[in-house]
Amino acid sequence: MESKINIIYEDSNILIINKPIKMLSHIENRNQLPDVLSVLRHPEYHVITRLDTNTTGLMLLAKTKEVASILSKWMRAGMIHKTYLALAVGYFANPEDTVEAYLLKDSENSVVRLSHMPIEGAEKIITKYKVLQEKNQLSLVEIELITGKTHQIRSHLAMLKNPLLGDPLYGNKKMNQQYRLNVQCLVSYKLCFEANDHSTSLDYLFEKKFVLPKIPFIDIIEKK
């Protein structure tokens, strides 16, 4: 089990890491998996951009409560942008689109369910995607979350009939078996600060961009 965290960037205010798969973003007493804060040995840090347990990639943390408050404000205002890369099954009907749906959590079964129409208790989700490459019945897709909800990318692409390769919950079982994958091919690969806020001590982050140096599944689409 991976228990080491690679640090991409660090200063006195923030930390940007490459979170491994099979690692929790937060401490969960009911789960025996390692979590980011415990592995870092800094339980006082604050997770700003959480990732699902089996999603890897760039993750932003604040070192103090004050910094966390500023970054959370920027996140709500859309001034911090996360971009994902995913490997999806099949070819998309549209090479580029912004799609909407309504997401309802099923906590008992640890999944989410989507609807095209509003339903009671469901939250509206918006996902923007762009196909970068198509080959071997697979699509390399760049994704930006306009809203950020539990399992949003995984469930939304499955709704489009293009589930993530390797996804054990929403994926294509036959393709997952063919590629011997049981973890979704999804990575948070780019983090951009667009917060032109000179009223805080974090103004030095304006226009900074961080990109993951290596995409873990990029070679799969080139095989065969």
Q: For residue range 140-163, what is the model confidence (pLDDT) as tens digits?
A: 999 999 998 999 999 999 999 999
Judge contact between 51 and 23, C-beta under 8 A: no
Residue 223 falls inside a structural domain: no
Number of domains in the chain: 2
Same-domain pairing of 170 and 198 = no
Copy the structure tokens of residue 213. Answer: 């140096």
Q: Is the pLDDT of residue 170 over 60?
A: yes
Same-domain pairing of 130 and 202 = no
Measured distance CA(19)–CA(37) in Å, rounded: 11
Q: Is the pLDDT of residue 2 over 60?
A: no
CATH at 172: 3.30.2350.10
Same-domain pairing of 63 and 116 = no
Q: Is the pLDDT of residue 223 over 90?
A: no
Measured distance CA(105)–CA(22) in Å, rounded: 21
Q: What's the whole-model pTM score?
A: 0.93
The single-letter DSSP state of residue 163 is P
Rounded to 5°, angle at Cα 169 from 166 and 171: 45
Same-domain pairing of 88 and 175 = yes
